Structure 1
Amino acid sequence: MIVECSNCHSTFNLPDELIPSEGRKVKCSVCDNVFDVAPEGAGEPEEDFTTAPFDADEDVSDEDLGSALDDAFSDDESDDEEPEDSDDDGAGGLGFDLDVAPKKSKKDLGGKGKLIGMIAAGVLLLLLLAGGGLYFFAPGVIGMAPEEQETQAEDPMLMAEQVKNIYLEGIRQYYVDNDKTGRVFVVEGKAVNQFDKPKELIEVEANLYDASDAVLDSVRLKCGNTLSLFQLQVLSRDEIEAALSDEAGIGANNVNLQNGQQVPFMIVFFDPADTVAEFNVSVVAAQDVTGL
C-alpha cells in the first residue's frame, strides 16, 4: 500500500501485511514525523478474500519489520525509475525503529556532479587545443600570424608584387657639409602609388657603389620624412637618424596613399667613401591598407 507522511507528504510503498488491522505507528525517515497508518479498507465493509487475512496476533518483531521495510525500499529498483507520487528525492523510507537513520539517495553521492565536471574539463581542453591549432596552422582565422607574416614579408616574389606599381620620381643626390659629423651624402625623391588600391608604409633602399660595382654602403628606411638644408648642416647624426625614422612620416603622409598620391623620402649616408662612383634607389616594401 502507498503510505503518505502527514507532515512532509513523502510517499512510500509499504507491504500491506506489515500493517495489522488495528493500524500501527510509523516514523518518516525524511522528516522524522511519527504518525498512524491504518490498513487499506479500514472502516469499509469487509469483503470476502480467497486467501486468509494477515493474523494481527502473530508475533512480528520490530527487527522483522525493519528487514521487510529495508527490502521494500532497497536500491534494487531501476535507477531510472522513481515512484510517480513521490514528493521527495528518494531519500530514506518508513521505519519502526526510531534510531534508524534515513538512507542517502544516489543523488547525494555526487556522481552526476563529478561526471559534469569531467565533461566540462574535457570541453575546455578541446577548446584550448583548437585555439592552439588555429594559431599555428590558420592564424588568419583569429587575426594572428606569429611567424608566417614575417616569412611572407621576406618573400622576394611576394614583395615584388606588393611594390611593382610604386614608382620613384624626382630623385637627386648631393653632398652637405655637416658641422658635427663632416660631409654627408644625401639622396632624396618621391614614391608614387600607381596601384588601384591604397598603399602605406612604403619603404625604400639606397646603395652606394664604387667603380667596380661593389657595394660601399646601404641604407633602408620608410618614406615620409625629410629635413631642410639647414637641419642637415647643424643636426648631429643621432638627431638626423631619429628625424628620418618615423614610420608614418611627417603628418602621417606615409599612410593610406590613394592611387596617384606620392610621399617624399630622404636617405643620408654619413662619412661616404671617396670612391663612391654611383648609387641606386629602389622600393623594397609596402603594405595594403587594412580595415577598409
Structure 2
Amino acid sequence: MIVSCELCGTKYRLDPSRLRKDRAKVRCSRCGHTFVVKKDAADESSAPAADALSPVPEPEQETISYQRPTPRPVRPQPAAKKKRSLAPVLLGLLVVAGLLAGGAYYYYAKFVTGPAPQEEAPTSPTAPPAVPQVTIEENIQAYFLENATVGQIFVVQGKVVNEESRPVSFVLLEGKLYTGENQPALVQKAFCGNVLSKEDLMQMDMADVQNAMMNREGKDLTNVHIPPQGKVPFMIVFYNLPDLEMLKDYSVEVVSAQVDQ
C-alpha cells in the first residue's frame, strides 16, 4: 500500500504484512518526521513511491536522530591596507608646535603666575568582577524531542567543571541557536544542576520545564558549593523552533557564577 509523509509529502510503499496492529508509527527517511499509518486509511493510488518504508522500532519512536553541527570557525579580520599619507609630516609639525607651546607655558607658569595648584587625578570606575573559571566539557549531547504541548523541541546537555581553587555556586549558562548567516535565532538560559528525563521533556508543560531549568540552586542543591574540579550536569531546552532548514549551529557559554567566600 502507498502512504504519504504528512510533513514533506514524500510517498512510500509499505508492506501491510509488516504492520503488527491496525495503527503503527513510521518515520519519513527524507525529513525525519514520524507519523501514524492505518491499514484501512492507506492511499491505494498508483502514484509511484520513492522507497519502501518500514515501521519504526519501538525503542526509537520517541527520539529523532540529530547530527551535532560543527562549531562555527572564527574568521580572522582582514589586515587593513597600507596607504601613503601626509600623517608623518603633520605629526612632526605638531610635535614642534607642542614643544614651543610647552616651553612658553612653563615660562609663564613659573615666572609670571607661580606654580599651578595640584589637581587630584580622576578615579577610574571599578571594573566588573570577572566570571569564575568554570568550563564546559567537550562531550555535549544535542537532540530533538516531540513535546506534547509545543511540538518539537531541541535539547542540549552536558557537564561543567569548576576550575577555581575554591568552591563556586549558582553557575548560569546561555545557549544560542544560529542560522546559516551566523545570526542568533533563539537564546535560552538555564542554571546548572537541573536535568529532566526524556519522558518528562516529552510530557511536561513547557512553562514547568523552564521553571525547572531556572532553579538557581539546582536539583538537590547540586549547583551550590561545587568543589574544585567538581562537575555538575546541565540541560538547555529550546522550544518554538523556527524552520529547521534555517538552523545551522548552536553554542553554550558560562555567563555567571559565584565564588564561595
**TM-score where L is the length of structure 2:** 0.49
Q: Which has the higher contact order (CA 8 A, sep 6+)?
A: 2
Q: Which has the larger radius of gyration?
A: 1
Higher helix share: 1
Higher strand share: 2
